[in-house]
Amino acid sequence: MRILVHEFVTGGGFAGRAVPVSLAREGAAIRTALIADLAAWGRHEIVTTTDSRFPLAAPAGVEVVPILPGREALSDTLIGSADAVWLVAPETGRCLERLTARVERKRTMVLGSSAAAIHRASDKGRLPHRLARCGLRHPVTRVLGPRADPAAQAREIGYPVVVKPMCGAGCIGVCLARDARELSRAVHAARRGSRTGPLLLQRYVPGVAASASLLCDGRRAVALSVNAQSVRTGRTVSYHGGRTPLDHPLAKEAMNAALRACEALPGLRGYVGVDLVLAESEIVVIEVNPRLTTSYLGVRSAFRGSDGKGANIAALAIAACAGKLPDAPVIRQSVQFTSAGRIKPLS
């Protein structure tokens, strides 16, 4: 196949506009890792887009299409030139959903979740109800529309609370308010991060921040790993990477919860991430990410091993998109990773 990889942030989606530093750093790391894995597989022709501010040292044979300011990053012509498109984009402003729908309209294969599944997973206002039907716990959540009273909602939920955009990416616009005095500032910061759309107010759940990485075929899912998340929680919440795998007594239970969460959202395909909190005695599902997440940086290294001979997660994700879920591959090493893509083997 001819596979078009479009990482929105560094691939031209922000051409001519300022890019948040955290998004640029993570986007560049994910794009570099994904293209390296696809090129190492050696079975397909790879083409990718790039914003000149984020040059890519592409492996030999990879075609790089520069996107200039004012030029459409993902044109119908570019989509039509490919047999399949792998999108990496934030859910903010329904970006990933809209791009996926555009590829679907061109009847080109999407190496990822369907637009409908992305919509369901990204709708954090309705996600609690979907998860509850599967018996999964989710933080108490309220949607803050334009006429909502955040102070009244926070009093009802109970402090501390997390304020964040309903459709977001990473930790941009995510704030913690420990009392009424901090709430106004948190709402203002979250609205800046959201730009448009409602906000969410959630009860803060203390515990170990984690993510689960899975492969989905549209109906079923297979577990890859549970990963520790390095999350700093102050007035704002920031993500800095993590560790793969997570050694924790509740790790197996966390993966089971992630599998059930994916099955609650039909149409998820390829690589999917589920954010969770491992509380004192139970698992709380925070959100489902229908795309490559930053944990891919650690997961790919953990499964490939220091000699690079283990499982190629990109290849397994493509097989999953075609309906062929693999047996769970073997983790070959423990690694620590940063959101900028730096990897440190731990074993």
Q: How many domains does the chain have?
A: 3
Do 213 and 326 share a domain, yes or no? yes
Residue spans of alpha helices (H) in 134-236 = 150-157, 180-194
Say yes or no: 173 and 295 in one domain: no
CATH number, domain with residue 239: 3.30.470.20
Query: What average pLDDT does this structure show over 117-123?
Result: 92
Q: What is the pLDDT of residues 202-217, one digit of tens each?
A: 999 999 999 999 999 9
Among 66, 91, 111, the domain-final residue is 111
Asked if the model's pLDDT at residue 170 lies above 70, the reply is no
Best CA proximity match to 282, nearest among 244, 245, 249 = 249
Q: Could you identify the residue written with the tokens 């549209």? A: 218
Neighbours of 18 (CB within 10 A): 7
* 196 contact partners, CB below 8 Å, separation of at least 6: 93
State pTM to two decimals: 0.92
Q: Examine the domain organization and report whether 226 and 310 are in the same domain.
A: yes
Residue listed under structure tokens 């074993």? 347
pLDDT of residue 254: 97
Residue 134 lies in a domain: no
Mean pLDDT of 239-250: 94
> Could you check whether the bond before residue 245 is cis, i.e. omega within 30 degrees of 0?
yes
pLDDT at 190 over 90: no
Q: How many Å apart are CA 89 and CA 291, to the nearest integer?
A: 8
Q: Which residues of 151-160 are buried (b: 16+ CB within 10 A; e: fewer)?
A: eebbeebeeb
Average pLDDT, rounded, for the chain: 92
Q: Report d(CA 65, CA 78) in Å as an integer.
A: 9
Within-domain flag for 231: yes
Higher pLDDT, 233 or 83: 83
Distance CA 176, CA 203 (A): 10
Q: Are residues 333 and 252 in the same domain?
A: yes
In this predicted structure, what is the pLDDT of residue 195?
A: 61
- 212 and 173 in a common domain: no
Picking from 111, 128, 148, the residue at the C-terminal end of a domain is 111
Average pLDDT over residues 115-121: 95
Residue 116 lies in a domain: no
**Residue at 20: amino acid letter:** P
Q: Is residue 126 part of a domain?
A: no
pLDDT (tens digit per residue) in 85-101: 999 998 888 899 999 99
Domain residues for the domain of 341 are: 208-345
Q: Give the DSSP letter string of 94-161.
A: GHHHHHHHHHHHTTPEESS--HHHHHHHH-TTTHHHHHHHTT-B---EEEE-TT--HHHHHHHH-SSE
Continuous H helices in the chain: 21-41, 76-80, 95-105, 115-122, 127-133, 150-157, 180-194, 251-263, 296-304, 313-321
